Amino acid sequence: MHTNSKAYLFGGGIGSLAAAAFMIRDGNVPGPNISILEMAPVMGGSLDGAGDPIAGYSMRGGRMLTTDNYECTWDLYKSIPSLNHEGKSVFEETVEFNETHKSNAMARLLDKRRAKVPVASMGFSMQDRMELLKLSQTNEDTLAASCITDWLSPPFFETEFWYMWSTTFAFQPWHSAVEFKRYLLRFVLEFSRIETLAGVKRTIYNQYDSLVLPLQTWLRAQGVHLITDCKVTGLDHKIEDGAFIVTGIHCVRRGKNDVIPIDDDDLVFMQNASMTDASSLGSMTNAPPELTKADSGGWTLWEKLAAGRPEFGNPAAFNSSIAQACWESFTVTLKDPAFFDRMIEFSGNQPGTGGLVTFKDSNWLMSIVLAYQPHFRNQPAGVQVFWGYSLFPDRVGNFVPKPMAACNGAEILRELCGHLRFDLETVASANCIPCRMPYITSMFMPRVRGDRPLPVPRGSKNLAFVSQFVEITDDVVFTVEYSVRAAQIAVYELLEIDRAIPPVTPHAKSLHAQFDALIKAFQ
């Protein structure tokens, strides 16, 4: 890349924002040479979070991070100044925050009697232990496109371990055995603390305010062009000496068609699909509309590009079944402390220390999280916000005779209060905004080698993929880390940067010994 070359990235999630920062910090690319094209009105992608006490707050997700993993994320955020504490980095402020607000869940699982389920034991039988060991020792080519249910028998899915692990990480029994194995290895340290979530680190506010905003502020100060309302619809390319070279980007910017010419020395970073593609919001009176990929276009580009080019992956492995990939979250804004007071009294946890509370017998498999307050930078005193989600929105509720997918915010609150045995008056002031995400676990769908392209696909001269749908050895999807690592790999490779990328920490080096010791301890 020459000093006057340009870099174009689309869309504007943490992956692209991180790639821009790595280009500037480690590749000496001038900020004004970089443009990020995002179809939404704001940057941040899945790390959204916005609202006010009147309209209600909303965020699609609430994130758990760790400092034992997330190597590339913290490598980045050690260089990004905090917006809250002058002279500190985002990494430093996050670590300090977690030193004073430690996770120690005391009501991780509740049963249908609203009793706290004892979780000191994982509930494994000898058969579960043997099957887990076998799965963890089988190589990825053998696991191939198999599902978790191909390796673990039905009783495993009734263990306390499964309820905690599946709701912490959003796994379903039909998901990829390869990805499940990778999670066991990557998060092996969580085994011994999954019942309290003691290893989990939180950001001070929601992740838009705590991760996106400071990074975006830094990029803007470097002169990066952050272009919103700009949807990329196609790429022109040529093949030269067998190499794939992007020559133009077609986009619709504020309703107008445009073509951005791309020189051979320019770089293009493409978002090949997103877990929040086609997501939609409801309200207290309306369920979210049921959108599909046809309504969003996010997947379409990858499908067009990959047709007939196996090196660009196989989107159909991930986007062919909404029934297996969809779930719903909801954000609740309260103007009366009654609900938080009851939860503190009942769970024994102050907001920000409890992690997930899961109703393990609920038909929807519902969980809620009460984060430290305020959870939004603009959230006034006297207003409280919490987030929840359900893994089975297609099932009829226990207290509302409807699938969650057909429920509005008021009905979701009725179901929640039913499980908690709280009077509806505790949520009388609540505004609950549901969010349907039809592709939220599409990254977990069974896959084979080659279904995901490399961050810089073989034969590509100036095109890279940055997303959750690229192949990175040993790392795990459904994490901020995966997109940031993809960004770092893509940037370093295309710019030939001679700086080591932080490796995936080998916590699982002695996995089998650890596994043995742990499962013996859980007998």
Residues that bind ligand FAD (CB under 6 A): 10-15, 37-40, 45-47, 60-61, 63-65, 231-232, 271, 274-276, 297-298, 301, 329, 440, 467-468, 478-483
Q: Could you give the CA distance from residue 276 to residue 440 in angstroms, rounded to a whole number? A: 6
Q: How far is the CB of 170 from ligand FAD (least distance, A)?
A: 7
Following DSSP, what letter does each residue of 137-189 receive, concatenated? HS-HHHHTT-BGGGTS-GGGGGSHHHHHHHHHHT--TTSBHHHHHHHHHHTGG
In whole angstroms, give the CA distance from residue 311 to residue 108. Answer: 43
Provide the minimum distance between the beta carbon of 22 and ligand FAD in the complex, in angstroms, as a whole number. 13
DSSP 86-151: TT-BHHHHHHHHHHHS----S-SEE-TTSPBPP-SS----HHHHHHHHHHHHS-HHHHTT-BGGGT
CB of 425 to ligand FAD, least distance (A): 29
**Closest separation between CB of residue 440 and ligand FAD, Å?**
6
Look at the chain and count its residues.
Answer: 523
Nearest-approach distance from CB 162 to ligand FAD, in angstroms: 18
**Shortest Å, Cβ 287 to ligand FAD:** 18
Nearer to ligand FAD, 43 or 152 (CB): 43
Q: Which is nearer to ligand FAD, 5 or 233 (CB)?
A: 233
Residue type, 193: R
Tokens representing 168?
């912490």
Q: How many CA atoms are closer than 13 Å to the CA of 404, on its beta-carbon side?
A: 28
Q: Residue 429 Cβ, how far from ligand FAD at the closest point, in Å?
A: 25
Q: Which is nearer to ligand FAD, 431 or 479 (CB)?
A: 479
Q: Which CB atom, from 61 or from 457, has the smaller least distance to ligand FAD?
A: 61
Cβ proximity to ligand FAD: between 342 and 507 the closer is 507
Q: Which is nearer to ligand FAD, 196 or 426 (CB)?
A: 196
- The bridge status of strand 356-359 relative to strand 109-110 is parallel
DSSP 448: -
Say if residues 464 and 494 touch (Cβ distance below 8 Å).
yes
* SS3 state at 227: strand
Closest to ligand FAD by CB, 65 vs 287, is: 65
Cβ proximity to ligand FAD: between 276 and 379 the closer is 276
Q: CB count, 10 Å around CB of 510?
A: 12
CB 190 within 8 A of CB 105: no
Tokens of 383: 């207003």
Q: 463 and 244 in contact (C-beta within 8 Å)?
A: yes
Q: Please, what is the minimum distance in Å from the beta carbon of residue 118 to ligand FAD? A: 25
Q: What is the C-alpha to C-alpha distance for residues 68 and 342, in angstroms, rounded to an integer?
A: 33
Nearest Cα to Cα of residue 230 among 8, 488, 483: 8
**Closest approach of Cβ 145 to ligand FAD, in Å?**
22
CB of 193 to ligand FAD, least distance (A): 16
Chain CA centroid to CA 440, Å: 8
Shortest separation between residue 62's beta carbon and ligand FAD, angstroms: 6
In this complex, which beta carbon is closest to ligand FAD, that of residue 322 or of residue 519?
A: 322
d(CA 39, CA 289): 20
Whichever of 46 and 172 has its CB closer to ligand FAD, that residue is: 46
Query: Is the preceding peptide bond at 11 cis, omega within 30 degrees of 0?
Result: yes
Nearer to ligand FAD, 123 or 434 (CB): 434
